[in-house]
Chain A
């Protein structure tokens, strides 16, 4: 009898702990949002401007390092590891962080998910052909990613996964075998690129056996210039990019949207 009671209480403890963990996260989220202006004012007076400057610098450094893997950064992480006691000043600090990124580094901190508050860092400046962007050479995976993104774009935005695998097979990249340079190709494409928000790997409903389709991810939407992609495809096919009228239209609208948003933000 007592053993059963102990087992029951143990499982209760586990669920309690789990709910406690989610409660903590919820509390953190709540602490971010339920801040009144008077609380913020008091908080501003509590800390000196030097301390706030230092906090801003710490957040900038945290985001820069988190961005190494290109995995989106969560607001909860920033709060837990860096801001801690300064939570009430979160909006102030983040405003200054964004401004620092834009003016000092030339980078943009973009919120990809307004509901869950997830950020990515992208380059504000347009890259110039032939000039390297960073000191480190660009990885070969970028080439692989470009192929997949361009196929999706030219095919209208959504494609079945088989199209991707077949195209890659023609390029001597077989998802079933280990590739010399990419390793486990399937994992890189469906796991790494998806986590970095370059691709979306979505199940098609009502299919048996289950099939997936690929779309552009949020990061790709922000980072990739469709016009430049279309230019390169045109070079390869030795065709005028405008001959793909639908894609050309889509690419032009993307660039106008970006420039207009830039004008409003600066």
Chain B
């Protein structure tokens, strides 16, 4: 290979046209003509400037790659015994090889050669089969027709473009027709399903669980509020009665001396208790069961009611920063 390269480099010195005599020959002939090339004067061993032109080399490389792609993509087309596409590719490669000077392009050329010979071998094996050959592409076309391909007639199809579309039940139609070629054992399935129907329940359970918490939450709210209101009223009445009981027992024991108001209501340990006491006592005074008055020292006292109809006491408590405003009607 390197010999022929050097020799073709030498012939590059001459104008391009006639020099094609060396490179344009068929590959198969090249090997046998090695002897003839001895007559041609070998060129300089160094690489001349023309050979080193990167753009030209890039061009050659891209053309080789195009050829290689073409062979790889259209492999089936090339194998078709009806055309000579493979020979065309080889001739193109021959033309390109004339301009190949360096190893990189030659490697691409070698790659293309490998692909082409592979295809050549397959094409040759096709010839071996006696009787008619089998073409998978034609088979595919016939299958498409069988499956009812709708060919779109508006656009003209190019090479490699798949036109038309298969209708819905296309593959089913093919499967039905070819079913008789298979001796498949029919698969065994229970006709109506089994009695153990396990999958459905878990879904229902999940749904119910999700629903319940929200309902209960809503129900809880009203109940709690009602209870609160009830407890309020009961507590107040109970407290009021309790205080009345305390006062009555006190007045029964003692001779009826009035109690200092402050001593009665104030809880030294709890301010809230004190306020509650004042609140409950006000109910007693409102109802006229006890009376409240200012004694000699002008301090409020709680005393027994002398008669029921005399006084109608209404106390309006407004506790703001220890101010107690008492309204007596």
**A residues engaging B (CB < 8 A)?**
64-65, 67-68, 70, 107, 121-130, 132-144, 146-147, 150-151, 154-156, 162-163, 166-167, 169-172, 181, 222-225, 228-229, 232-233, 236-237, 239, 243-248
Is the pair A246, B130 in contact by a Cβ cutoff of 8 Å? yes
Is the pair B183, A225 in contact by a Cβ cutoff of 8 Å? yes
Complex CA gap A51/B118 in Å reads 64
Complex CA gap A156/B140 in Å reads 17
Residue B175 lies at the interface, judged by CB distance under 8 Å to chain A: yes
Tier of interface size on chain B = 35 or more
Is the pair A237, B138 in contact by a Cβ cutoff of 8 Å? yes
Q: List A contacts of B162 (CB < 8 A).
A: 169-170, 172
Is the pair A142, B189 in contact by a Cβ cutoff of 8 Å? no
Residue B166 lies at the interface, judged by CB distance under 8 Å to chain A: yes
Q: List A contacts of B177 (CB < 8 A).
A: 232
Complex CA gap A233/B142 in Å reads 9
Is the pair A140, B172 in contact by a Cβ cutoff of 8 Å? yes
B204 to chain A, nearest CB (A): 28
- Cross-interface CB contact of A239 among B132, B180, B184, cutoff 8 Å: B132
Is the pair A167, B136 in contact by a Cβ cutoff of 8 Å? yes
Given contacts A151-B139, A243-B131, contact A133 B174 (CB under 8 A): no
**B residues engaging A (CB < 8 A)?**
75-76, 129-132, 134, 136-144, 146, 162, 165-166, 171-189
* 23 residue pairs from A and B, CB less than 8 Å apart: A65-B188, A107-B185, A123-B184, A126-B183, A127-B179, A127-B181, A136-B186, A140-B171, A140-B174, A142-B178, A142-B179, A143-B175, A143-B178, A154-B134, A154-B139, A156-B129, A169-B162, A171-B143, A172-B162, A223-B182, A236-B142, A243-B132, A246-B131
Given contacts A140-B172, A143-B172, A151-B139, contact A244 B179 (CB under 8 A): no
- Cross-interface CB contact of B139 among A127, A140, A233, cutoff 8 Å: A233
Q: List A contacts of B138 (CB < 8 A).
A: 237
Report the nearest B residue to A248, measured CB to CB: B131
Complex CA gap A70/B268 in Å reads 91
